[in-house]
Amino acid sequence: MKKNENITGGNLIMTNKTIPNFGTFQEARDFWNNNSLADFENDLEEAKEVKFTRKKLIIAIDLEKEDEKRLRLIAKQKGVKYSDLIASWVKERLNND
Q: What DSSP string runs through the chain?
A: --TTEEEETTEEEE----PPPPSSHHHHHHHHHHS-GGGGGGG----S------SS--------HHHHHHHHHHHHHHTS-HHHHHHHHHHHHHHH-
Q: Domain tally for the chain?
A: 2
Q: Residue 75 in contact with residue 82, Cβ under 8 Å?
A: yes
pTM: 0.45
Question: Is residue 77 included in any domain, yes or no?
Answer: yes
Question: Is residue 53 included in any domain, yes or no?
Answer: no
How confident is the model over 1-35, as pLDDT tens digits?
Answer: 444 444 445 454 445 678 888 888 889 999 999 98
Question: At 71, phi and psi to the nearest 5?
Answer: -60, -45
Q: What is the mean pLDDT of residues 72-92?
A: 95
Structural domain span for residue 89:
65-96
Question: Is residue 25 included in any domain, yes or no?
Answer: yes
Question: Is residue 57 included in any domain, yes or no?
Answer: no
Question: Is residue 35 included in any domain, yes or no?
Answer: yes
Question: Is residue 49 included in any domain, yes or no?
Answer: no
